[in-house]
């Protein structure tokens, strides 16, 4: 398993530009490792991405960088689990266009994204503490 530069918990308390700089350095390591994997892996092999907390951010960046605009890569995606993070790749488009895929309502049970956050019972939850508010989708 490749190692990568990570930001410290204290970096999350810094200004957003400092946090983004640190996350960009971390993602550069992840991006290189994933590109190396893709260069040597069987192209028919399905892909599963799993990350927790800061790793969830890395999963989202991988989804945006390698899967958002590439139908062949989306076809290889079996499962993405950015646990404890936001899901914004593959599910939204900043230009206002409809989503490229609908992982929450897809008729198949593969090629999906599973994300959640958990909190201790009775804990005050401030959705804006670390990330923007989660998007909601109407039920199908």
CA distance 64 to 70: 10
Whether the model clears a pTM of 0.75, i.e. scores above it, the answer is: no
**Category of 69 on φ-ψ map: left (φ > 0), alpha (ψ -120 to 50) or beta:** alpha
- Determine how β-strand 112-113 pairs with β-strand 47-52: unpaired
Q: Is the pLDDT assigned to residue 54 strictly greater than 60?
A: yes
Within a domain: 133: no
List pLDDT tens digits, range 89-122. 555 444 444 445 444 444 555 566 776 667 778 8
Number of domains in the chain: 1
Within a domain: 4: no
Give the tokens for residue 52: 């927790």
Cα-Cα-Cα-Cα dihedral of 39, 77, 114, 68, to 10°?
80
Within a domain: 132: no
Phi, psi of 80 (to 5 degrees): -125, 130
Within a domain: 123: no
Within a domain: 130: no
Give the tokens for residue 72: 């062949």
What pLDDT is recorded for position 79? 87
**Banded pLDDT at 61 (limits 50, 70, 90):** very high
Give the tokens for residue 44: 């028919």
Within a domain: 131: no
User: 40 is in which domain, residue-wise?
Assistant: 9-113
Within a domain: 140: no
């Amino acid at each position: 398993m490749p190692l990568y530069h990570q930001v410290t918990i204290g970096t999350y308390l810094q200004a957003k530009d400092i946090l983004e700089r640190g996350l960009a350095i971390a993602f550069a390591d992840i991006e290189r490792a994933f590109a190396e994997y893709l260069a040597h892996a069987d192209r028919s092999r399905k892909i599963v991405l799993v990350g927790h907390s800061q790793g969830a951010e890395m999963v989202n960046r991988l989804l945006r960088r390698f899967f958002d605009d590439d139908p062949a890569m989306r076809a290889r995606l079996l499962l993405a689990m950015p646990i404890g993070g936001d899901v914004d790749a593959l599910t939204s488009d900043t230009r206002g266009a409809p989503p490229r895929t609908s992982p929450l309502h897809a008729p198949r049970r593969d090629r999906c994204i599973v994300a959640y956050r958990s909190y201790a019972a009775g804990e005050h939850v401030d959705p804006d503490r670390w990330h923007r508010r989660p998007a909601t989708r109407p039920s199908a």
